[in-house]
Amino acid sequence: MPSRSEGDQSFIRPPLIVDDSGDILVFASVEEAESYLEPWAAKQGIAVYDAEGRLVRLVRRGPRVRVAPGDSIPWHSEVLRDRLVSYLSRIGEERTKRSNQWLIDAPLSELIELAADWGRLG
């Protein structure tokens, strides 16, 4: 599938969800993610998704990281969903106030919203 150019962020739908080996961070905007993420994240291939499940690329630009579009189609929505369910299950029902069955049945948008309560920075 063709990728968009680095400068065209029109296909990226915030928030951005970063999966760092199972730890989830949620950024409200591209700018917020770019100001927080460090260049090593681009080098190590940290997984970053937009709100619809598109895989987003991190590009190292000197001492900064730029967020660049990946695929224009949200091919990775089920992978993102699985990672969010796993993350929220580890947090636990007592803290999230949601059962594992709710997590399994919830739409992606609600999983992102709940994960943002625990993984939002800024």
- The verdict on pTM exceeding 0.85 is yes
The half-sphere exposure of 121 on its side-chain side, counting CA atoms within 13 A, is 17
Question: Domain locations in the chain?
Answer: 11-122
For the ranges 7-16, 93-102, 106-115, the one whose mean pLDDT is highest = 106-115
Q: Give per-residue pLDDT as tens, 27-85.
A: 999 999 999 999 888 888 789 999 999 999 999 998 999 999 998 999 999 999 999 99
83 touches 22 (CB < 8 A): yes
Q: What is the phi/psi pair of residue 65, to 5°?
A: -115, 135
The rounded distance, in Å, linking the Cα atoms of 27 and 75 is 20
Rounded CA-CA distance 27/121 in Å is 7
